[in-house]
Structure 1
């Protein structure tokens, strides 16, 4: 019997719920191949919103991807021993049959395929329907979604760039839209080839998209040129191309304090407001929005609030993961009395929980994908690595992020005896600043350090160990005989 790559097959594209339900009127269709879905401006606009809807699915960037990267690190304790809620991932022993391994792979490629189907339809019909100006914006948004999807998959399923300078197997690159059952057998591209595609998408998105001033709904939940630039600072950091990080960040970050972008991006004075409604701060570069409308919030057991907040009132989480007492919260430099980020810690019984995403069920907190604080820290690290010095600009950037949350701390060059000490401080600041947002696992593999031990039964995982990265989904290996697993 012929086998098919069903996980990338699109049955419905239009009719997805939107990033915000009120922004579209979905027109359902089950026939993409005749391009009827591209015959009106309304249907095309609906599909653009649908691209974000698939991206923000709780099985991908709207939940499990971030949770996975957090619980792979050392900051959380698994309280339920439930494999449905990532117990195997926390223990660093997931197989290709693990639910999360299959779900994130599948949803990532569904997202990518939706982009490819959309771009094919626009090239065939839709561009003429909406006109050149709007067609460029839609293409830019689609390419941004595809670029960040490939980047996300690469961090879990492929060896880091430092291992073999990008020559190791990456993930599978698809450019064509698949809208019919078929055998889409294809080998994995190299890590470098995947990064090259990511950067082609982000460079194109920057060129095609407008530069939108921050702080509005459109600026935060739809991609624009600033989103693409900001995300490239992350991509180049992971590629170890520090001169390119500096180049891209230079488009966003001023040369001196208070570090405001040309468009007005800046650190929100109160860090807690970044994670509270309406989620539209000048720091919020790109986020995934949710509402209480059925179908427009993360699915069951995929929500950040469900995993990380306790069940005790005023929270309605499931307390799946408490904060590890020996994790980042044990850092003595992160002052409990004066740092506002400590307010994201809640005590329930004898445990501490991370409540950065506190909104009760159905857990509609926006999920930040990239914030201005990260851009500042990316630039700070790149400056130090590029100059191999205690770079004053890098120190000032680091100080800005820490001082925003703790007014008692301001760093100067004199605080750091050398580049190595400064790099450690920047890494620690990023660890604190982005806790709970899905960075820790990615940062560990990027930096080539071991995953720390979490308990006597969950030992450290060395960078050379097989479980340092995830296996490929067993579904892919069954249906695609050209794809080889990680070993």
Structure 2
């Protein structure tokens, strides 16, 4: 099954293509080798179309690279080195326009993935489930819903006000739940942030119910959705909604009450003893969901989309990338609580003598850049639960301290926190947030954390800070959407 997912650049009904003469990017004309009437006519065709949804999710403009990259370079831990608008210098400087590469492509390819999910769900309802059988049909529908929910959540983090601003009552996204197969179907007003989040939770809840508990192959347990995938993603979504009670409810399904923490059911998700293993062996039990890459043409992120291309220095400086973004010397790497002996320091490489720069080398595969892209790891679930426990009780919660220790100790055995380490609950929260910045550096979570807490995006290098009340705190709506959708409004 692993190869089927990886090689899912399927030429089928829902594998739409873009062309220079087609301006309606949200209602693209199908480039198809399988006619609409027969696209769901066999088990093989249905399976191929399902796997193509994963292919859309792992596109270089979405979770194959750029979504993750933008989530980090918006924050304060990286410095832009190339001033290249194509590779996100405007994202880093907090001033992208409606027609900017980042704004347009993330929106267009995100909605392309959503549309593929919608067309697939429509096809399953029209007969696909009959073809593959009720049980497999439920699973396939669940996988499509999980992918759709994940993309909607991800787009909210850039194009809509945080949930905490007005309890979700601000404009969110156009909530498209049926497939677009032709022109003239673009007009749709933006639903509220709360309405889009509600759909995300609905998709993930329904996905959890019908996804398998586990797969036989370890690779499928990382590259394909299962029950723990939906549960883990719900902890992220509820954390962004500041719904801490539900973070706890969901996390408790897959986190044991005491250390060593692991999932008591479904896939046996748990921390790896050595953090570096997670980024060399991509299919360990810590990786709940990742985007697989291979060296097969068309099955890697593509030009200027890859994580290592952005974060790793050039070969002249001992790396495999283009040196687009170095690490901010005043960012998280300067934090004195991140000790020199911490194994996660091995992800940092220095270059230069006169002018010393630091680089993130968490992703090491050279061109064509075949590192798996992490979507969510078990470490995040543990820290999501820890934060939710503290915020919901307003105490120095003992389990939260133990969860924090689990993540810190596996990389820094010299540091063990106790309840006495924190004078107040706010101190423990700050320690958890710091741990998140260290643990998930280069994994795309920094923007999510800043947004959900309505925090100012700090200044870095020549880029000024961006307060929640400032223009540009969230991105403008894509110019292509505004041109095609007469009911859409800009931010």
* TM-score, normalization by structure 2: 0.93
C-alpha deviations, 1:315-343, integer Å up to 9, x for none?
3200000001001000000001x200000
1:107 to partner: Cα distance: 0.4
Map 1:78-117 to 2 at 5 A: 78-117=80-119
CA contact (8 A) 1:253 1:261 kept: yes
Q: Distance in 1 between matches of 2:471 and 2:215?
A: 44
Which residue matches 1:461? 466
Distance 1:124 1:193 in 2: 26
Partners of 1:95 and 1:132 lie apart in 2 by 46
Q: CA deviation at 1:8?
A: 2.4
The residue number in structure 1 matching 2:63 is 61
SS in 2 for 1:108: helix
CA distance in 1, matches of 2:300, 2:30: 19
Provide, for residues 419-443 of structure 1, a one-character-per-residue CA deviation record: whole Å limited to 9, x for no partner.
1000000001011101100011111
Preserved contact between residue 272 and residue 341 of structure 1 (Cα < 8 Å): yes
Aligned equivalent of 2:309: 306
Deviations 1:84-108 (A, max 9, x none): 1101111111010101100000000
CA contact (8 A) 2:300 2:368 kept: yes
Q: Per-residue CA shift, 1:287-314, capped at 9, x if unaligned?
A: 0000000000001011101000011265
Q: Secondary structure of 1:286's match? A: strand
Alignment of 1:52 with 2:58, yes or no, is no
Where does residue 211 of structure 1 map in the other structure? 213
Q: Retained in 2: the 8 A contact 1:390–1:419?
A: yes
Aligned to 1:290: 293
Report the equivalent of 1:161.
163
Correspondence for 2:374 among 352, 365, 368:
368
Instruction: Give distance in 2, aligned partners of 1:97 and 1:159.
Output: 20
The aligned residue for residue 325 of structure 2 is 321
Is 1:268 paired with 2:272?
yes
Root-mean-square deviation (CA), in Å? 1.5
Contact 1:7 1:109 in 2 (8 A): no
Q: Please state how far the C-alpha of 1:447 moved relative to its aligned partner.
A: 1.3
Q: 2:455 aligns with which of 435, 449, 470?
A: 449
Question: What per-residue deviation string (whole Å, max 9, x for no partner) do you get for residues 228-285 of structure 1?
Answer: 00100011111111000000001000000001111321100010111113x0111110
User: 1:179 is matched with which residue?
Assistant: 181
Residue 347 (structure 1) aligns with: 350
Which portions of structure 1, spanning 4 or more consecutive aligned residues, are displaced by more than 6 angstroms? none
Contact conserved, 1:5 with 1:185, CA < 8 A, in 2? no
SS in 1 for 2:172: coil
Check 1:168–1:50 CA distance in 2 against 1; reply closer, same or farther (3 A cut): same
Match of 2:476 in 1: 471
Change beyond 3 A, Cα 1:480–1:4 = farther
CA distance in structure 2 between the partners assigned to 1:276 and 1:446 by the alignment: 31
Per-residue deviation, 1:5: 7.7
Ranges in structure 2 where 5+ consecutive residues have no aligned partner: 1-20
Closer, same or farther: CA 400–221 of 1 in aligned 2, 3 Å:
same
Q: Can you give the 5+ residue segments of structure 1 that lack an aligned partner in the other structure?
A: 14-27
Aligned partner of residue 165 in structure 1, secondary structure: coil
Give the equivalent residue in structure 2 for 1:191.
Answer: 193
